[in-house]
Structure 1
Amino acid sequence: MTAAARSLFGRRARLRWIHLILGGALAMPYVLVGSVVVGPITGADNLFGSLTLQLAAFAVGLPLAAVSSLFPLTRPLESGVVRSLCGVDADLLAYGPARTKGEKGRTAAWFTLHLGVGGIVAGMSLAVPPFAAALIVLPFVPALRDDGAGLPGVLGHAWALALAPVAGGVMLVALAGCAAGCGALLARWAPALLGPSAEDRVAAAEARAADLAVRNRLARELHDSVGHALSAVTLQASAARRLLDSDPEFVREALAAIEDTTRRTVGELDAVLGVLRDGDAPGTAPAPTLAADLDGLLDRTRAGGLHVSVTVTADPRALPPPVSREAYRIVQEGLSNALRHAGGQVTVTLRVDVRDGHLRITVENPVGEAGGEAGGEAGGEAGGAARSGAAPRPGGGHGLRGVADRARLLGGTAEAGPVGRTWRLHVRLPLGRTA
């Protein structure tokens, strides 16, 4: 089938034709109401015997259609039909009721246009095919050429009979072309008349941004809490397995730490997942903060065999709650990186102090000892990606990117990378703002 034939008789053209026929069907009640008005004014007994009077009734009924389009469901219904039958992209249409004057005006214009053009095409679809079929079979059916058939006298000529089938075919093609053209025009105008307004687009963009922000926050919370817990539990279980026979006391402490870590993590996980469940209230487990659980975090980390040297000159209880909460997650991620990459063979240094109106968090560990070199290089790659904004390598860098996001949301900065033979995470959080 050629492109021209597809444009006239293809699936999309047929569906748009159906859309126009539906517009004509919807226009019929308004035409009947218009005939009630036109009939008494003109004094005509048979309104449907005159094409002029029918068009007049049609013209009177269209304003009534524009008024009825103010019904709230008009725009959602029309948008759904346009998407299904006219092939208009769903993102270009609005599916909520028209609320503002501009939206109601555009909906009224569309509904009137649909019914007006659809009524004309529907009328042509009813009248043209029978007449075209009569012309096509006219040379082969003598009864149609009788004077009583009501056909024009010119069709009695031989040359007219020879051209009658051609004329009939041309009329059918012209009807298809008219329907395809009208359908294409309505499909082109639909986004402008049924599409979202500028306010709708802004509101949708803000809703998507808010949803994305919530998803990113939940992803960070899950990564930091669950990721740290799994790293700590893995090392604690490994150390307990190695010392099961030689140091039972250490094994008991490791198992107790595993129990405490998993219990706390289940509570945090339930709090985060509560936000994701439709109809559920957020979990009641409080978000951990530097003031409430720094010592517990250090104890659980040391239970995994990691040596942690801590210097805290800032008073965690004096920190603003948002800073204390994000600082806890940042420290947790720094210790988690050390657990994953450095193992228990090195000493991790943690410093938390206040200088120049900023809370400063520094986590350092050597990268040249056993198990630390490869981890430091991997971490350095991820940290560099976090600083530069480039995508991290598969399987790494998400935690450091989350640290950078947390610092940025508070108006601070985060730097991570190798400094000589030391892997260093340094974060500065302003204490004067809690953005």
Structure 2
Amino acid sequence: MRHLVPTITLAIRPLTSAHTYRRWVHLVIGGALLTPYAMAGLVLAGLLTQRGSTLAQPGPAAWLLGPALTLTAVAATARIPGVAAAQHQLARALLRGPLTDLPDTPPAPGPRATLWACLHGLIGMAVCLATMTVLTEAALLAIAPLAVDPYTVSQGPLTILGHDTLTRAQRLLGPLLGLTLLLALIATIALTGHLMAALAPRLLGPSPARLLADAQARARTLAERNRLARELHDSLGHALSVVTLQAATAARLIDTDPDFARRALTHIADQARTATADLDHALGILREDTPAPTAPPPDLTHLPHLADTTRHTGTDLRLDTTGDPTTVPALLSRETYRIAQQAITNALTHAPGRPLALTLAITPGHLHLTAANPLPPRRPLGRRRTGGRGITGMRERAHLLGGTLTAAPAPADHPTHWTLDLTLTWKDTETP
């Protein structure tokens, strides 16, 4: 008995589901749309095959040519701009199913939309005929016990009870047979609608090429958003860190060393202007109606200025550069500058007041950046080792450039310094 209940529930679910009756409407609409095409095709086939004779009884040739003309007209209609989009929206609204899980992108007029229009019309016509036939027969069978002329009642299209005079048992059996027919019709409609809903994504959904293009577009958008997030995090984070330290130093020395305080305030204004320019650059990329920024972002040639700005916070920063920064490709130069900027920001944030050594070595086709600062006293190493968005962003930059970046306490056995190492390589275009 326990195994019977789920089976019964599964059997009656299509009868109570709203999907069944929405899909029924969708199929009936398909049959209704096909009806004028079928009538016109049959008339035209009769004219072509019977040469003006009576069309009351089309010949075999007309019955063969009529469906061909009908489907040809349906296929031509499906090619009209906007028809495929209407089919798509109608299927999404009434069939539901897997089609609603796909992007709401109507298909372009083509073979898939044409095939769907033909199937929708043919299957819909069959459903319309089955609906009219079964509903009529079910109604006749339902009133069999009350009918005055049982012979007339039994002349439904299926003539289940035959043509003879109905017995009392047949009269009482009529409503049960009518209900059985009705339930069989609903179950058939539910199965047909389910199959159409499963087929809809293949014929009305985006093509594989369109899905791939949409996925690539989303990936590009996500990559651009992540890049802008890294830009804002690194540039604004550095500016705010420097401003915070300089403002604190100026407040502390404004009475004892007003000249230093004034210089600190001047550098705060410079950092605010730089941060505003970086923000405008990022917002200009985000907004499509804003002209593209013309000022180039900073690169490795701006590294000395970055070091000078950091020194004005009171940080002992030593910058050692070997090689020519102008030989580094533009993209690598800009990204390396941002990594160096974020390394300085991390040092100012997590080890304020500690000296910082920044070393940049450039050789043909190779770049190596190192940032090292003593670890602050009594700071839990575990928290620093995990890193935050800054280290994550630096690693993402290095990965996108095909380089490697490590950031961890060193040496590993008795750490005394926090060290960051970046290595980038590229194909040197200079001829030997």
TM-score (norm 2): 0.85
1:228–1:44 distance in 2 versus 1, CA, 3 Å: farther
What residue ranges of structure 2 are gaps of 5+ in the alignment? 1-7, 157-161
1:64 aligns with 2:73: yes
Contact 2:107 2:113 (8 Å CA) reproduced: no
Range moving further from structure 2, 75-84 or 150-159 = 150-159
Instruction: State the alpha-carbon separation in 2 of the partners of residues 47 and 350 from structure 1.
Output: 97
1:332–1:148 distance in 2 versus 1, CA, 3 Å: closer
Residues 340-359 of structure 1 mapped to structure 2, 5 A cutoff: 340-343=349-352, 345-355=353-363, 357-359=365-367
Cα distance, 1:73 vs. partner?
A: 3.0
Match of 2:334 in 1: 325
**SS of residue matched to 1:349:** strand
1:299–1:215 distance in 2 versus 1, CA, 3 Å: same
Residues 155-174 of structure 1 mapped to structure 2, 5 A cutoff: 156-174=166-184
Match of 2:418 in 1: 423
**SS of residue matched to 1:281:** coil
1:147–1:433 distance in 2 versus 1, CA, 3 Å: same
**SS of residue matched to 2:254:** coil
Instruction: State the alpha-carbon separation in 1 of the partners of residues 428 and 377 from structure 2.
Output: 40
1:79 aligns with 2:88: yes
1:6 aligns with 2:7: no
Instruction: State the alpha-carbon separation in 2 of the partners of residues 214 and 399 from structure 1.
Output: 17
Residues 218-229 of structure 1 mapped to structure 2, 5 A cutoff: 218-229=228-239
1:119 aligns with 2:122: no
Instruction: State the alpha-carbon separation in 1 of the partners of residues 310 and 89 from structure 2.
Output: 57
1:180–1:138 distance in 2 versus 1, CA, 3 Å: same
What residue ranges of structure 1 are gaps of 5+ in the alignment? 383-395
Cα distance, 1:134 vs. partner?
A: 2.7
Cα distance, 1:416 vs. partner?
A: 1.0
Q: CA offsets per residue over residues 86-123 of structure 1, 9 Å max, x none?
A: 22333447734437xxxx22322221111110111123
Q: CA offsets per residue over residues 321-380 of structure 1, 9 Å max, x none?
A: 22221121111011000011001x21111111224742211111000437xx34x64332
Instruction: State the alpha-carbon separation in 1 of the partners of residues 147 and 152 from structure 2.
Output: 13
Cα distance, 1:309 vs. partner?
A: 1.3
- Aligned counterpart for 1:363 among listed residues 364, 371, 377: 371
Instruction: State the alpha-carbon separation in 2 of the partners of residues 177 and 148 from structure 1.
Output: 25
- Aligned counterpart for 2:384 among listed residues 372, 379, 383: 379
Question: Residue 220 of structure 1 aligns to which amino acid in structure 2?
Answer: R
Identity of aligned residues (%): 38
- Aligned counterpart for 1:137 among listed residues 138, 143, 146: 143
Contact 1:357 1:432 (8 Å CA) reproduced: yes
Instruction: State the alpha-carbon separation in 1 of the partners of residues 297 and 408 from structure 2.
Output: 28
Instruction: State the alpha-carbon separation in 2 of the partners of residues 38 and 257 from structure 1.
Output: 89
Contact 2:78 2:114 (8 Å CA) reproduced: yes
Question: Residue 412 of structure 1 aligns to which amino acid in structure 2?
Answer: G
Instruction: State the alpha-carbon separation in 2 of the partners of residues 262 and 414 from structure 1.
Output: 29
Q: CA offsets per residue over residues 16-55 of structure 1, 9 Å max, x none?
A: 111111211221231232132244346555579x9x9999
Cα distance, 1:160 vs. partner?
A: 2.2
TM-score (norm 1): 0.84
Alignment root-mean-square deviation, CA:
3.0
Instruction: State the alpha-carbon separation in 2 of the partners of residues 317 and 146 from structure 1.
Output: 102
Instruction: State the alpha-carbon separation in 2 of the partners of residues 412 and 305 from structure 1.
Output: 32
Range moving further from structure 2, 200-209 or 52-61 = 52-61
Question: Residue 13 of structure 1 aligns to which amino acid in structure 2?
Answer: T
Question: Residue 338 of structure 1 aligns to which amino acid in structure 2?
Answer: A
Match of 1:393 in 2: none
Instruction: State the alpha-carbon separation in 1 of the partners of residues 391 and 71 from structure 2.
Output: 63
Cα distance, 1:210 vs. partner?
A: 2.0
Contact 1:254 1:304 (8 Å CA) reproduced: yes
Contact 1:380 1:423 (8 Å CA) reproduced: no
1:413 aligns with 2:414: no
1:309 aligns with 2:318: yes
Match of 1:279 in 2: 289
Instruction: State the alpha-carbon separation in 1 of the partners of residues 155 and 427 from structure 2.
Output: 94
1:181–1:8 distance in 2 versus 1, CA, 3 Å: same
